[in-house]
Homo-oligomer: A and B are copies of this chain.
Amino acid sequence: MKAWGAFLRAHADLVPRMDRLLRKRAGVALRDYDVLAQVDLAGGACTMRELDRRVLLSQSGLSRLVQRLADEGFVGRATNEGDRRGVDLRLTAQGRSVLRRARKVQAEEVRTLFADQMSPEEARTVLRVMRRLSEHADPS
């Protein structure tokens, strides 16, 4: 029960800080980074529907976010030829570039703000517990 409070507090202390650092040093928000990274993970291209499954955001929220990423030139959009309801996304060269930089910043920050604060043993426990929590809450 105290652990729940500490969990909330840690998130509230860490995430906005990560977000600010990422914006300042890489020019993208944490959520943008997440989306770009997921597209990359799907091989640099995927459809909105697929992204929606991978990302923690409402469908409409994702739609607007991708709109913004497209406006900024980080992804290209085109209607899927196979199923014209779908929209295909592709990382642009600029998108890949910003993603590379963001990855570097993110790796540094996660290390200093998060990973360096716990032993490998503790990290394993945190990983295990957090996964269990997600599975139980959202058995996708």
Contacts and interface: CB of A to CB of B under 8 A. Distances in A.
Contact of A129 (B13, B107, B110, B117): B117
Report how many copies the assembly holds. Answer: 2
The A contact surface, by secondary structure, is helix
A138 interface: yes
A124 B121 CA distance: 13
A130 interface: yes
Contact of A10 (B14, B122, B123, B133): B133
Interface in A1-17: 1-4, 6-15, 17
Interface in A87-140: 107, 110-111, 113-115, 117-118, 122-134, 136-138
Contacts of A11: 7, 11, 15
A113 B4 CA distance: 10
Interface residues on A, range: 35 or more
B137 A1 contact: no
Q: Which of A2, A115, A117, A130 has most chain B Cβ within 10 Å?
A: A130
B2 A127 contact: yes
Interface of A: 1-4, 6-15, 17, 56, 107, 110-111, 113-115, 117-118, 122-134, 136-138
